Chains A and B, each alone.
Chain A
């Protein structure tokens, strides 16, 4: 009996210990679980470009740009909105062949391509702005010299917009949109969207049909310093303006017929006829604090505030602007008729220059 009990007891005890050992193990304590960012699916920009015949010019351009590219079309994790010009877009912009591309300076090709990329965003057409002013987005293009004078982080801007069902990159129509790829979205412009290379001041200075307006700006700035000078604003790279610059002919029309330009300039500088403040007001009335390509102007004539402010109109005295699909017009509130934009969409680093055929009159 004693032995039986001993045997039973031993067996029982061993079984109990074995059971405890088996059940005594705890599951591993829960660990932190990493979030997994969505894995990019589909082809990359590079895949699309390399495998599509109509992108052969672009493929060549990418190869030509080489290390000058500020974006990496084959990086599947990157995020780009790419205005990808197809062969016809190159042709439409006067680049008829890959040979021509290969003959261009690599840095120039790189600058053009970099300007076609808005990094950090997948901007589909549904998210583009359909009202004025339009979105002011930074491309991959960082201007080289004299970049020291550019504010930190300033890249060349591009202005996508949607108007009346048409989509634009600056003033260039987009003919195919929203090709979603692993590293963003591709839109096909009808032509190359050329990057700016100089400021609005530079654009005005280099246009011989705008010399009288340049003189008016100089008169407007007399006695002013720094960024209070309209000229400085037009030369400030981080500014964002539109200048409706009356052609010389428009300014001449304000004076008796045949008045020489030198006389007009002298009169502009003669306080007996024009005070500096009057001219300053007049010039400011030709400027907008946003970028308006002609296609961005309202489809129905509407008021847009200018930089001319009065104590009673702190938002800025308006002009009346319209883009009817073919022609852009602007009218001063004191003008009898609207001016026509005769040479529009000249794009600068800090603004767009639209030449008009009448002086806009605020009063």
Chain B
């Protein structure tokens, strides 16, 4: 930060010096209002026709435009959801007062991400969805990020109230690494923990201008990752969005008290944007979310076998080896028979009896539920700010910072409590008319985040080591059996004996021991000491002087610094791991047949220092059948290098060791000279094989049309083919070098490329219909199917065959069109959920979100009454994640119209 300050000073000085230079010009002032409500319109664009000079109205609807142009001139005034209006200015003294007429249009949004150049959404050559801030204002969802859920073809996994992970076209998970999320031009994946953090840290809701979602493969423009979509979230420019705005949202959750008592939900946000001069503007913002989170309380029994397993019957009282899905500490299991054999060696008169018992009597330690071991309060605090300075007519420099901290719960290979988790993103950006240059860094600090499974297992060891607990259990079990008690009762008697002294959840003793364990770094405790960072520079240039084709080039360089003090990665204190990656891309576009056909070809080359370089091409064709009807075809490729964790993780998770694919880790554990075996088939030895980047190739055909400006229809179909799918598998290493039950066995979860090719295909269709009086009705349906899955292949496809959304809404009805409402019904089919944490059938579910709103144009405010999961009908988006019920809220947002 210290280095940045002189630069800011230079910008201020430049600002002061240039004011004098523009003094000999005319200034046009005016006000823009809504023709129906008579309220002023802020952020309306006022541009002198035929030039690039323009400005935006401030938060009072006023504008002031200084120009050297001679009179008369024409101003073109536009604002989102209003018809364009032109006004002729003949005198410099003329006070301009313009009223814009509201409109509701379909298909007129402008999207950028599809080709990295602005284009009407109707003319996007690949499937894309966009949500603008007008929709965010009236949405039923409690946060803008939740709106992604209702987009076509999207699956969202909710790890907690604030931790949502979207994906398209399959392969979703909690903390997906196959979807790129780019917030204000920055990749917001946490460098160490590898999940995208937009839902917890990033732009505040009041500062989001829009977001776009590219479905499917999109590496050709955005680099490694993006196998299953790219989300781009764009903030509000302080030159355009000015003034103080704030939003107070208060709600309630847990109304039926099935998980916990009814609790409040708070979301407060504030933003202040100020255009200080024509050259300098700044913004600051903050947001606080506080709630009692949904609780993951799946008490079903899980038969775990390394990273695989299945849901089985049984409860703590009816299965001595019970391992509850959301119960932790009970992953520790031992074959009681071996303990009994040791007891029998001491008491030979028991030996023959012990010999009549089964050779395997698995017994797990008594666990604690998630509710008992996590901080159930979700707190999420974000603060951000930016300085924008126009260096010339078309060059804008900006320096921005985003910082957030929060408590939430996340699902990886196990459940993690993210506590005091902090991420900062800091960016310097220079944007010209046809180019940009950007440098940014992501600074991650896992805070007091800890692995719930490992922490609770070690907590159990802390209050009574298993070396004491199991012998006590064994003795009590024998005594109960020899008192004629039936087996299960004997187990329960033995558990009660061994559990004597077990701290009650929430007791002082519990808290003291638990805190002690969770604050100790792995492997002594459960704490992740992650302080990993990312540094990236990137740039892009569009050649405007080439007439024949449109050519654009760009490139980036990034450096990851993985720093976990050995608690997560194979780094050492003071010796972080460095991973460098660079890439370059070019896109060429050509319109043919009188602009009827537009072709683009793009290609991107990326190189990660630990892997061979990858080239990913993309070809698109857009055929304009009519002005508002287009057929699109694309051939896209995407790939991803193994994530940082998949490369360098070195984490004992209690049930085994998660190991990255880098050879240094294999060497560290002697897995090269003593290769592990497949635990399911001990005749198969798993030798080191370098892991290759995963890739997908897809073809898509789509059609989008706007019929009579009233009906917008979009349909698409695609096929995708995945190769070198990066997956994990279990491995067991024997100290003896060969499978030997008496040898010491060490379990690993290793990263491998799955053999063979996996194919997916799918389709989607949406229709939005504009009814009279601003009513809109819309619906979409989409399907993704996995095909040709090789035998024994774990795909983690995690996607329903069918999902659908239906919505009805109105952006303005009633007196002066001040009322609005929105109702969305969503449904998705059941499917088999597979993850390293848990696998099993995920039931189908419905969800209804609804909101009604009233606008107050005078104070540019909106009051909204909203509900997600209106019927409070609980569902879960992934096994092991919380079941979510209704959230009902009322919000007041000031200066947002």
Contact = CB atoms under 8 A, between A and B. Distances in A.
A16 B808 CA distance: 9
B6 to A, nearest CB: 58
Contact of A138 (B317, B350, B487): B350
A21 B848 contact: yes
B883 interface: yes
Interface residues of B, number: 54
Nearest to A21: B871
B772 A5 contact: yes
Interface stretch (A72-80, A166-174, A309-317): A72-80
B871 A153 contact: no
A153 B883 contact: no
B352 A78 contact: no
Contact of A37 (B348, B487, B843, B883): B487
Interface in A5-19: 5, 9, 13, 16-17
Nearest to B479: A153
B870 A35 contact: no
Given A24-B847, A29-B298, A36-B318, A137 B352 contact: yes
B21 to A, nearest CB: 59
A2 B871 CA distance: 33
Contacts of B299: 31-32
Given A17-B823, A29-B876, A157-B349, A37 B848 contact: no
B607 interface: no
Interface stretch (A103-111, A119-127, A300-308, A328-336): A119-127
Contacts of B772: 5
Contacts of A127: 356
B826 to A, nearest CB: 9
A240 B344 CA distance: 14
Contact of A119 (B300, B484, B823, B827): B484
Interface string B340-357: 000000011111110010
B883 A29 contact: yes
Given A78-B484, A79-B486, A120-B485, A33 B314 contact: yes
B349 A13 contact: no
A154 B351 CA distance: 12
A151 interface: yes
Contact of A26 (B313, B319, B775, B845): B845
Given A35-B319, A78-B485, A79-B484, A30 B349 contact: no
A77 B350 contact: no
A24 B318 contact: no
A77 B480 CA distance: 13
B300 A240 contact: no
A155 interface: yes
A24 B484 contact: no
A136 B827 contact: no
A72 B486 CA distance: 13
Given A32-B315, A238-B348, A26 B485 contact: no
A119 B319 contact: no
Contacts of A43: none
Contact of A80 (B347, B475, B484, B808): B484
Contact of A240 (B349, B353, B486, B847): B349
Interface string A61-73: 0000000001110
B482 A153 contact: yes
B464 interface: no
A75 B349 contact: no
Contact of A35 (B315, B478, B484, B846): B315
A138 B843 contact: no
A88 interface: no
B483 interface: yes
B420 interface: no
Interface residues of A, number: 50
Nearest to B475: A153
A135 interface: yes
A79 B485 contact: yes
A213 B270 CA distance: 101
Given A24-B873, A34-B313, A119 B483 contact: yes
Contacts, number: 140
A34 B488 CA distance: 12
A19 B347 CA distance: 70
B484 A72 contact: yes
Contact of B300 (A31, A71, A72): A31
A269 interface: no
A79 B352 CA distance: 17
A225 B502 CA distance: 44
A293 to B, nearest CB: 15
A25 interface: yes
A23 B874 contact: no
Contacts of B315: 32-35
A120 B484 contact: yes
Interface in B388-406: none
Contact of B482 (A32, A35, A119): A119
Given A77-B486, A119-B483, A153 B350 contact: yes
Nearest to A78: B484
A119 B347 contact: no
Contacts of B356: 121, 123, 127, 135
Contacts of A183: 484
Contacts of B324: 32
A71 B484 CA distance: 7
A300 to B, nearest CB: 25
B484 A25 contact: no
Contacts of B348: 136, 238, 240
Contacts of B478: 153
Nearest to A159: B352
Contacts of B870: 24
B875 A120 contact: no
A358 B723 CA distance: 84
Contact of B843 (A27, A123, A151, A240): A27
A34 B484 contact: no
A153 B483 contact: no
Contacts of B298: 29
A219 to B, nearest CB: 28
B301 interface: yes
Interface in A239-265: 240
A23 B350 contact: no
Interface string B463-496: 0000000000001001101111111111000000
A49 to B, nearest CB: 16
Contact of B314 (A32, A120, A123): A32
Most A Cβ at <10 Å: residue of B314, B475, B482: B482
B325 to A, nearest CB: 9
B892 interface: no
Contacts of A152: 347
A145 interface: no
B688 interface: no
B825 interface: yes
B488 A37 contact: yes
A148 interface: no
Contacts of A71: 484
A153 B481 contact: no
A20 interface: yes
Contacts of A17: 823
In order of increasing CB-CB distance, the 7 nearest A-B pairs are: A120-B481, A119-B484, A35-B318, A78-B484, A32-B299, A34-B318, A136-B352
Given A33-B314, A140-B482, 20 more contacts: A20-B825, A23-B825, A24-B846, A24-B871, A25-B846, A26-B843, A27-B843, A29-B875, A34-B315, A35-B319, A35-B488, A71-B484, A77-B486, A78-B486, A120-B483, A138-B350, A138-B482, A140-B484, A153-B347, A154-B347
21 contacts: A17-B823, A20-B823, A20-B825, A23-B827, A24-B846, A25-B873, A28-B874, A29-B883, A31-B299, A34-B317, A34-B318, A72-B484, A119-B481, A120-B485, A151-B347, A152-B347, A153-B347, A153-B478, A153-B479, A238-B349, A240-B349
